[in-house]
Amino acid sequence: MNANLYSKFLFKSKDAKPLITLNDGSIFSYGEIHQRVAQYCNYFDNIGLQVGDRIVQQTEKCLDALCVYLASLRFGTIYIPLNPAFQHKELTYFINDAEPALFICSTEKEATVAQVIAEQGAPIILDTLTINGNGSIQKKVKDFSIDFGIRERRNDDIACILYTSGTTGEPKGAMLSHKNLFANGSNLKKCWGFTEDDTLLHMLPIFHCHGLFFACHCVLLSGANMIFLPKFDTNEAIKYLPNSTVLMGVPTYYTRLLANDCFTSDATQRMRLFISGSAPLLEKTFYEFENRTGQRILERYGMTETGINTSNALNGDRIPGSVGTPLPKSKLKIVDNNDNDIQDDSPGHILIKGDNVFCGYWKKEVKTQKSFTDDTYFRTGDIGKRTKNNYIFIVGRAKDMVITGGLNVYPKEIENLINKIDGVKESAIIGLPHADYGEAVTAIVVPKNNVPLQDSNILFPIQEVLANYKVPKKIIFISELPRNAMGKIQKNILRNNYATLFSISVN
Provide the b/e sequence for 364-374 (b: ≥16 CB within 10 Å).
beeebeebeee
pLDDT band at 126 (very low <50, low <70, confident <90, very high): very high
Which of 153, 176, 197 marks a domain boundary? Answer: 153
- Domain span at residue 110 reads 26-153
For the domain that residue 56 is a member of, what is the CATH number? Answer: 3.40.50.980
DSSP string, 129-144: --TTS-SHHHHHHTTS
- 132 is a domain residue: yes
Predicted local confidence at residue 449, as pLDDT: 84
pLDDT tens, position by position, 222-280: 999 999 999 999 999 999 999 999 999 998 899 899 999 999 999 999 999 999 998 77
Mean pLDDT, the chain, whole residue set: 93
Residue 149 lies in a domain: yes
Query: Number of helices (H) and strands (E), helices first, in the chain?
Result: 15, 25
Compute how many other C-beta atoms are within 10 angstroms of the C-beta atom of residue 336: 12
pLDDT tens-digit map of 306-343: 999 999 999 988 999 899 999 998 999 999 989 999 98
With respect to residue 52, please indicate whether it lies within any of the assigned structural domains.
Answer: yes
DSSP string, 351-367: EEESTTS--EETT-HHH
Q: What is the tens place of the pLDDT at every residue in 154-206?
A: 999 999 999 986 444 578 999 999 999 999 999 999 999 999 999 999 999 99
Residue 424, in any domain of the structure: yes
Give the DSSP H/E element, type plus range, for residue 116. Answer: helix 110-120
User: Which of 153, 175, 207 represents a domain boundary (last residue)?
Assistant: 153
Binned at pLDDT 50, 70 and 90, residue 489 comes out as confident
- Percent of the chain residues topping a pLDDT of 70: 96
- Inter-residue contact 391 to 325 (CB < 8 Å): yes
What one-letter code names the amino acid at 371?
A: S
pLDDT greater than 70 at residue 506 = no
Alpha-carbon Rg for the chain, nearest whole angstrom, is 23
Q: In this model, does residue 3 exceed pLDDT 90?
A: yes
Host H or E run for residue 373: none
pLDDT band at 415 (very low <50, low <70, confident <90, very high): confident
pLDDT of 507 reads 40
- Residue 194 CB partners (closer than 8 Å, separation 6+): 188, 218, 219, 221, 222, 224, 246
Final residue in a domain of this structure, among 153, 187, 213: 153
Q: What single letter denotes the amino acid at residue 286? A: F
Checking if the pLDDT of 347 tops 90, the result is no
Q: What is the mean pLDDT of residues 432-442?
A: 93
**SS3 state of residue 192:** coil
Global pTM reads 0.84
Mean pLDDT value of segment 452-479: 94
pLDDT over 90 (residue 124): yes
356-414 pLDDT, tens digit per residue, is: 999 999 999 999 999 999 999 999 998 889 998 999 998 766 667 788 998 878 777 88
**Looking at residue 440, which CATH number applies to its domain?**
3.30.300.30
Rounded CA-CA distance 285/283 in Å is 5
Q: Render pLDDT for 280-298 as a digit per residue (tens, 0 to 9).
A: 787 888 999 999 999 999 9
Name the helix (H) or strand (E) containing 121. none
3-state SS class at 215? helix
- Nearest-angstrom CA–CA distance, 318 and 315: 9
Q: Is residue 358 part of a domain?
A: no
pLDDT confidence bin for 462, thresholds 50/70/90: very high
Domain count, the chain: 2
Give tens-digit pLDDT for 46-86: 999 999 999 999 999 999 999 999 999 999 999 999 999 89
Supply the pLDDT for residue 491: 87
